[in-house]
């Protein structure tokens, strides 16, 4: 009986296994589908850009724009570079210049690093700038500035996957530029742009330039009306020390070389021609007083007007400029030409004064001899008392009339010729001395200001 029961139990087990084996595949398929459905229920749906930004810096995030990155830690390093879009309006009277730039700042904010979004960087709307921390940069030598809002705010905000932030903004700035005008208009001016932190000390914020080749870029084809913007631009630091702390500051120096073509045409050449025009009087007859005086006064007044015009567009500085020396010497030359005719006219009339003095002396001698002879004859006849003149009575016109002798006329003619020759000699000497002196001044002037001083300026670092 026991053997039968064991055989029956084994048969039943074999039958059961034979029935279950054909359904193993469908059971596995059903279990796989259930696992996929369970996995899909456990994985979250893809995040929308709006939800991602809210999680990164919005309402659902723990980001606080009032706190700088690495708070209580190392200072934030902000890398700056600028792109000069236009450079214009260099004004000497107010000593400033206008520039249009793209200011770019880049720093790392670990709180903005992300992995949930597939893109390596995000270009965000400028309105998001209020939601993140930004450096408090300002221009230390700024006199006026404005943003650009046409057609929208000219601002760029880009966030990278590793937390780097790029902030770019377009600005028009009026910056102070103290100028040394001693060599004007052959000068080279150095204008600076200083970028400084207003509220964060160097313990919290540090500014630095991008690589030297890319720190300051200039738009292609940029030109200035009176200057040439030289390629070399000095980058450096200008750390500021105040009683509130030590603040980071970086600067760039622009070297502007003035082009003097305008001043040659408007000032130097006209004044040169006026000086040459004043020399024409040396070839005009000395007897033509109205012509020579009129020419001299006209050149002096014209030179005065020209000198005043050269100073109209310049500040009232206490030192002497190169253009002042030129104008002063030109005015001196035209005024000397006018005085030269005064000297010629005076010398040419000296013979008349000399002859008048000779006639007066000759008349006095002859009157004294006549009176002496009259007294001698009258005393011989006892009529000496008749020589005493009465009150109010003088010698009548018939007493003496000095004769005009031929000797006196010859002497007067010789004197006249002598002094006229002297006057003509002054004109002849002036024809050579004035141009030669002015030529020497020109050589000295242009060598000093265009060669010597220019080398000194270029050698200054």
The percent of residues above 70 in pLDDT, for the chain, comes to: 76
Whether 385 has a pLDDT exceeding 60, the answer reads: no
- Between CA 295 and CA 276 the distance in angstroms is 12
Quick: pLDDT tens for 133-147: 999 999 999 999 999
Q: What is the mean pLDDT of residues 63-78?
A: 93
Whether 154 has a pLDDT exceeding 70, the answer reads: yes
Partnered with residue 195 across adjacent β-strands are 139, 250
Mean per-residue pLDDT of the chain = 82
At residue 2, the pLDDT reads 54
Please give the biggest Cα pair distance in the chain. 226
At residue 18, the pLDDT reads 52
Q: Give the lowest-confidence range in 37-41, 261-265, 416-420.
A: 37-41
Q: Which of 127, 140, 150 is nearest to 53 (CA)?
A: 127
At residue 115, the pLDDT reads 87
Whether 36 has a pLDDT exceeding 90, the answer reads: no
Q: What is the mean pLDDT of residues 185-201?
A: 95
User: Contact, 171 vs 100, CB < 8 A?
Assistant: yes
User: Which of 10-19, 173-182, 352-361 is predicted most confidently?
Assistant: 173-182
**Block residue for tokens 């006639």:** 359
User: Contact, 66 vs 132, CB < 8 A?
Assistant: no
If one compares 14 and 424, the residue with the highest pLDDT of the two is 424
Whether 74 has a pLDDT exceeding 60, the answer reads: yes
- Between CA 330 and CA 302 the distance in angstroms is 11
Quick: pLDDT tens for 406-436: 655 666 667 777 878 888 999 999 999 999 9
Q: Give the lowest-confidence range in 92-96, 234-238, 379-383.
A: 379-383
- Between CA 167 and CA 357 the distance in angstroms is 95
If one compares 215 and 389, the residue with the highest pLDDT of the two is 215
Burial class (CB in 10 A: 0-12, 13-18, 19+), 54: middle
pLDDT-derived band at 375 (thresholds 50, 70, 90) equals: low
Whether 392 has a pLDDT exceeding 70, the answer reads: no
Print the SS3 string covering the chain.
CHHHHHHHHHHHHHHHHHHHHHHHHHHHHHHHHHHHHHHHHHCCCCCCHHHHHHHHHCCCCCCCCCCCCCCCCCCEEEEEEEEEEEEEEEECCCCEEEEEEEEEEEEECHHHCCCCCCCCEEEECHHHHHHCCCCCEEECCEEEEEECCCCCCCEEEEEECCCEEEEEEEEEEEEECCCCCCCCCCCEEEEEEEEEECCCCCCCEEEEECCHHHHEEECCCCCCCCEEECCCCEEEECCEEECCEEECEEEEEEEEEECCHHHHHHHHHHHHHHHHHHHHHHHCCCCCHHHHHHHHHHHHHHHHHHHHHHHHCCCCCCCCCHHHHHHHHHHHHHHHHHHHHHHHHHHHCHHHHHHHHHHHHHHHHHHHHHHHHHHHHHHHCCCHHHHCCCCCCCCCCCCCCCCCCHHHHHHHHHHHHHHHHHHHHHHHHHHHHHHHHHHHHHHHHHHHHHHHHHHHHHHCC
| CA 125 to chain CA mean position, Å | 38
At residue 88, the pLDDT reads 84
At residue 378, the pLDDT reads 52
Partnered with residue 86 across adjacent β-strands are 100
């Amino acid at each position: 009986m026991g053997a039968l029961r064991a055989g029956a139990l084994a048969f039943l087990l074999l039958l059961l296994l034979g029935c279950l084996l054909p359904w193993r595949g469908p059971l596995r398929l059903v279990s796989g589908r259930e696992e996929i459905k369970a996995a899909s229920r456990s994985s979250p749906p893809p995040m929308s850009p709006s939800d991602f930004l809210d999680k990164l810096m919005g309402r659902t995030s723990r980001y606080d724009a009032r706190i700088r990155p690495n708070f209580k830690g190392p200072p934030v390093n902000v890398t700056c570079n600028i792109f000069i879009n236009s450079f214009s309006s260099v004004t000497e009277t107010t000593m400033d210049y206008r520039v249009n730039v793209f200011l770019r700042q880049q720093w790392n904010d670990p709180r903005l690093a992300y992995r949930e979004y597939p893109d390596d960087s995000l270009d965000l709307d400028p309105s998001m700038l209020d939601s993140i921390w930004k450096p408090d940069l300002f221009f230390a030598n700024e006199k006026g500035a404005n943003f650009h809002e046409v057609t929208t705010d000219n601002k760029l905000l880009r966030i990278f996957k590793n937390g780097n932030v790029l902030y770019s903004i377009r600005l028009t700035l009026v910056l102070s530029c103290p100028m040394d005008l001693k060599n004007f208009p052959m000068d080279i001016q150095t204008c600076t742009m200083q970028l400084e932190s207003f509220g964060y000390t160097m313990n919290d914020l540090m500014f630095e330039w991008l690589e030297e080749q890319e720190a300051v870029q200039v738009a292609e084809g940029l030109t200035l009306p009176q200057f040439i913007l030289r390629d070399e631009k000095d980058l450096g630091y200008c750390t500021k020390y105040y009683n509130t702390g030590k603040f980071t500051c970086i600067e760039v120096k622009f070297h502007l070389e003035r082009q003097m073509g305008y001043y040659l045409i408007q000032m130097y050449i006209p004044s040169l021609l006026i000086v040459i025009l004043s020399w024409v009087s040396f070839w005009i007859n000395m007897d033509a007083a109205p012509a020579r005086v009129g020419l001299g006064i006209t050149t002096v007044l014209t030179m005065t007007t020209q000198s005043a015009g050269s100073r109209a567009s310049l500040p009232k500085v206490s030192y002497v400029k190169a253009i002042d020396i030129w104008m002063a010497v030109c005015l001196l030359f035209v005024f000397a030409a006018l005085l030269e005719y005064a000297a010629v006219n005076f010398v040419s009339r000296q013979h008349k004064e000399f002859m008048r003095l000779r006639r007066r002396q000759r008349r006095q001698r002859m009157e004294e001899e006549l009176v002496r002879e009259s007294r001698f004859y009258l005393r011989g006849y006892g009529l000496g008392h008749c020589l005493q003149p009465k009150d109010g009575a003088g010698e009548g016109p018939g007493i003496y009339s000095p004769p005009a002798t031929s000797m006196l006329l010859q002497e007067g003619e010789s004197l006249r010729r002598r002094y006229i020759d002297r006057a003509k000699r002054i004109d002849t000497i002036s024809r050579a001395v004035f141009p030669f002196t002015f030529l020497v001044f020109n050589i000295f002037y242009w060598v000093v200001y265009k060669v010597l001083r220019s080398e000194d300026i270029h050698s200054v670092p």
